[in-house]
Amino acid sequence: MIANNVEVVDVTDPADPRLDDFRDLNSVDRRPDLPSGKGLVIAEGVLVVQRMLASRFVPRALLGTDRRLTELGTDLAGLDAPFYRASAEVMADVVGFHLNRGVLASASRAPELTVPHVLDGARTVAVLEGVNDHENLGSVFRNAAGLGVDGVIFGSGCADPLYRRAVRVSMGHALLVPFAKAANWPGDLELLRDQGFRLLAMTPDPTVQTLAQAMSGLAEQRVAILVGAEGPGLKEHTMRASDVRVRIPMSRGTDSLNVATAAALAFYERDRLGR
């Protein structure tokens, strides 16, 4: 059953300007942060569109097949935007490639949150530095959502979590897990410390404490998990601004894990017994 408030508009002409939010997604939206991009947030697929509908990002328009419209059904009850209904072929012409997820939603960027806003009420946050790959960033958000992390703080050198691919890989959690960019880096780590957060900096250094050692006894404390880019890791001045350096016990002869996987292990250790 489709919510009866939904304005369904059938579109058969791929050139229809009402579909411009979704046009040439691969090229126009390549750098949404630049003037050539539209800065729009794009959700792909039923699950991610549902999460956008539940988020602070308010849809401007939806484009999808009749089948996906039916699947979304009453999830569209609160929607105040048109649903452009089109065939898969028309959709492919508009976006520039075949889109097997069958539905898209566009939203303007919501106002950015501040670090204090993200910290408010949070028990665990992730702090990222130099995570400049959109897929890794999306994975971090998916892992954060699944493993009890309440917010994400960006230090320097991170990619845009609202980029289309990051949103997709996050399964839409980049729209739901609150995040903020540090205004001063790494100076803003003091804001976390002032709020009682214990700052754990992840490193491959085999001489420091393991995650299990460092997390024990912190159940009643607020914790921030600092993760750097794969390869270089956290910068030394960021390490120095943390409270404790922690490592994952690794097999001999192996190097680091993927950054999102390493973060997931720390998130897991934080809450492995559940709550």
Enumerate binding residues for a second copy (CB under 8 A).
139, 142-143, 145-148, 171, 173, 210-212, 248-251, 254-258, 260-261, 264-265, 268-269, 271-275
**With respect to a second copy, which residue has the nearer C-beta, 99 or 211?**
211
Taking the complex as a whole, the smallest distance from the CB of residue 187 to a second copy amounts, in Å, to 30
Taking the complex as a whole, the smallest distance from the CB of residue 145 to a second copy amounts, in Å, to 5
For every residue of 40-95, DSSP letters joined together read -EEEESHHHHHHHHTSSS-EEEEEE-HHHHHHHGGGGTT--S-EEE--HHHHHHHH
Quote the DSSP letter at residue 112: P
Taking the complex as a whole, the smallest distance from the CB of residue 146 to a second copy amounts, in Å, to 4
Quote the DSSP letter at residue 121: T
Rounded-to-integer distance, Cα 190 and Cα 184, Å: 10
**With respect to a second copy, which residue has the nearer C-beta, 114 or 256?**
256
Taking the complex as a whole, the smallest distance from the CB of residue 240 to a second copy amounts, in Å, to 25
**With respect to a second copy, which residue has the nearer C-beta, 187 or 206?**
206
Taking the complex as a whole, the smallest distance from the CB of residue 46 to a second copy amounts, in Å, to 13
Is the distance from CB of 109 to CB of 33 less than 8 angstroms? Answer: no
Name the β-bridge partners of 41: 107
What are the Cα distances from residue 87, in Å, to 54, 227, 237?
A: 26, 43, 54
**With respect to a second copy, which residue has the nearer C-beta, 237 or 252?**
252
Burial 124-142 (b: 16+ CB within 10 A, else e): bbbbbbbbebbebbbbbbb
**With respect to a second copy, which residue has the nearer C-beta, 234 or 263?**
263
